[in-house]
A and B are shown apart, each in its own frame.
Chain A
Amino acid sequence: RASMAASSCRGVRSILWKYGSCGKNFCVSRSKTVPQLPVRHICVSSALWKKNLAAAGPQKFTLEFINKQVEEFEIGKRHLANMMGEDPETFTQEDIDRSIAYLFPSGLFEKRARPVMKHPEEIFPKQTAVQWDAEGRPFHFLFYTGQQSYYSLLLLTGSRWLLKEEIEEYLVENISDHDYMRMIQLMEKLLSMPYCSLEEEFILKFRKQLEVQSSKHEIPALQYDPQGVTFSVADGRRKTAKASITLRDSGSGNITINGRNYLHYFPLLQDREQLMFPLHFVGMLGRFDVEGSVEGSGHSAQAGALRLAISRALLSFVSEGEVEKMRQAGLLTADPRIKERKKPGQEGARKKFTWKKR
């Protein structure tokens, strides 16, 4: 039905091409300064060329596409009016239907199968606009709750219902568990009604704000050397590797780990990049001297532990805004992943024994 209507629109347009001024504009403006990367021809088997039709889901239309269809519809309406000899300005939907029935007489019994020219709003199903940007990051911060509009109302984020003890304190009366549950149910019912924002004040009395997570980091204290050089000490852990470092100011970027130069201790580039990340992020690459000791686990885990330790030590040299940025970059979060336990009846943590049918 949609494709019939779309093709009829296009049909009208193609008949009246000479009147049409809506040519497609190709903006091919390549800046010559950008070097063209060589195109790699990747050979792929033909099985991959077939589209997985089931996995695609209902067809999605972009906003630009819908807008274009609307434009074409408007122009097509005017052309139709011209064709029928009527005034384009006062051409209603009924007139359109009449004209189409006249121009394209159809003997089909099913009314919905006949050619139709309607406004794209009625033809294409309404969808929510795409909620995420080109990289897949959602726009709204509550996207992953599933109901971002609901939770963004009424300051429901960042707060929770008061506990039974806190309500008892507020009411200066004793209430039973059953009463408390009933009360919470009623408050939820109130929230689900429309116009509940009128009673926002009343509802907020029973909600308690949660503390903001970001201000919870312990900043290690800045200590002073006998020579007057500022330094700070911090620890870090990753997957059984424990690291402890001293970050000294006014250095020249030397890093000593377990008494050896970091170039000898970490011959792999990836590990040195891990060490570089916190200093590079804050922009203080050549400023500090690092002296560290690390033990346990493998080279990657040791590099991760040192990275965490360096970021923690840097907190004392850096401003509040930078601390928040570091937290968002994931520099201050301890990686909780550890080796998963091997289960009985399986080869490893996940790997199963060979499955024999009989």
Chain B
Amino acid sequence: IILNGITAHLLPTYHSEGHSGQYYMLPPAHIQKLFPYGLPPRFQLQIKTFNEGCVMVRPPALELISYLKRADYSKPPLRYVLYGDIGTGKTMSLCHALHYCYTQGWLIVHIPDAHLWIKNCKELLPSSSRPSRFDQPIQASQWLKNFKITNERFLSKVQLDRYVWTKRESTEKGQPLGELIDQGVNRMKSSSDVVGAVLRELKLQAGGTTEGEGAFKLAVAVDGVNALWGKTSLKKEDRTMCEPEELTLIHNLRKMMKNNWSGGAILTALSQTGSVFKPRSAYLPNELLGEEGFDSMEPFVPVSVSNYNEKEFESCYLYYLDRSWLQHPHSRSEEGKKELIFLCNKNPSILERLCAAL
């Protein structure tokens, strides 16, 4: 159905070039399951206000989805990096592609913002398993909870290897994933190691080495991937700066980023807004990832995201008009539209802030 340029209820599988610039509605059930914390905060506010989540179909997301459709999943996964200026829609395109994966029935490993793991951590415990590492129990358990909500149907299907946590606790071979996650959520001390174990298991079992029943494709989506190779703003107890290497979560995530497994895809997006110690004008991959990050991520498929073009701006403007978001009568005229174009230079996030309430 196409109403006012909104192709509502059409699944991402069917999106094509012709739909570029039009809005499609995210089903509320999917939003609750897939994106408890995945969407940008301002977009979440918009969903709450308009009572629905509408995402614009844009060329970068379409490109990403077409690659995902055509990729060969018996080979190591391709790494896609969304890069672009601030506020051009990298996170939204990532979420769009992730929604496609979800509708196709993939297992989603989504880290909404890797920067949250390298700054503002209240508790930094020395790791229980390895002496030189540090754990972040709060972040790890939070992530495990979200993972549980997103991938409910896979929790009973995936079988595990044997893991030993402490002298008395161990996970036996063949137990379902759900149990492991429950244990990680309940026992905060070992939650970071649980995260590591979960990632390792999924890596080994993706791609359907077993029969058709247990086969699943793995989508690893990381937003703010430049956090993994930058600096942290956390301090150890002796007041020296912590390296990202020394954090368990980051270490495991880096292992995930390597393409020594098969049967899935790695979708990432760079982000300057949450990053620490990076200048505001940096937006290219080699600037934000740094040398180390660039070398580890190579080879990757870069996808550039830019400001709205004329057609997309028109579509966004009409959407806001349709939802009665632009209240001032002057904004409905040509003059008002030109003013809006000038003030935001067709940047999506600035346009949104401009049209927003106080």
Contacts and interface: CB of A to CB of B under 8 A. Distances in A.
A280 B338 CA distance: 9
Contacts of A283: 335
A206 interface: no
A253 B342 contact: yes
Interface string B231-249: 0000000000000000000
A314 to B, nearest CB: 15
A165 to B, nearest CB: 54
Interface residues of A, number: 15
A276 B341 contact: no
Contact of B343 (A260, A264, A276, A286): A276
Given A263-B350, A264-B281, A269-B354, A279 B343 contact: no
Nearest to A280: B339
B338 A285 contact: yes
B347 interface: yes
Given A264-B281, A269-B354, A276 B347 contact: no
Nearest to A287: B338
B343 A273 contact: yes
B345 interface: yes
A262 interface: yes
A263 B341 contact: no
B85 to A, nearest CB: 8
Interface string B319-358: 0000000000000000100110111110100100010000
A262 to B, nearest CB: 7
A286 B341 contact: yes
A276 B345 contact: no
Contacts of A280: 335, 338-339, 342
A285 B345 contact: no
Interface string A256-278: 00001111100001001100100
B9 to A, nearest CB: 32
A283 B281 CA distance: 32
Contacts of B347: 263
A280 B344 CA distance: 15
Given A263-B350, A264-B281, A269 B343 contact: yes
A272 B341 contact: no
Contacts of B339: 276, 280, 285
Contacts of B341: 253, 285-286
Contacts of B338: 280, 285-286
Contacts, number: 32
A273 B347 CA distance: 16
B342 A279 contact: yes
A285 B281 contact: no
Given A280-B339, A285-B338, A285-B339, A263 B354 contact: no
B91 to A, nearest CB: 19
B345 A261 contact: yes
A281 to B, nearest CB: 11
B278 to A, nearest CB: 15
A283 B343 CA distance: 15
Nearest to B86: A264
A279 B347 CA distance: 20
Most chain A CB atoms below 10 A, which of B339, B344, B345: B345
Nearest to A279: B342
Nearest to B327: A35
Contacts of A253: 341-342
B354 A285 contact: no
A229 B18 CA distance: 36
Nearest to A267: B280
A29 B342 CA distance: 40
Nearest to A261: B345
A262 B341 CA distance: 13
Contacts of B342: 253, 272, 276, 279-280, 285-286
B273 to A, nearest CB: 12
Q: Considering the complex of A and B, which 3 residue pairs feature the smallest CB-CB distances, nearest first? A: A285-B338, A263-B345, A276-B342
Interface of B: 280-281, 335, 338-339, 341-345, 347, 350, 354
29 contacts: A253-B342, A260-B281, A261-B345, A262-B345, A263-B344, A263-B345, A263-B350, A264-B280, A264-B281, A269-B343, A269-B354, A272-B342, A272-B343, A273-B343, A276-B339, A276-B342, A279-B342, A280-B335, A280-B338, A280-B339, A280-B342, A283-B335, A285-B338, A285-B339, A285-B341, A285-B342, A286-B338, A286-B341, A286-B342
Given A253-B342, A264-B281, A285-B339, 17 more contacts: A262-B345, A263-B345, A263-B347, A263-B350, A264-B280, A269-B343, A272-B342, A272-B343, A273-B343, A276-B343, A279-B342, A283-B335, A285-B338, A285-B342, A286-B338, A286-B341, A286-B342
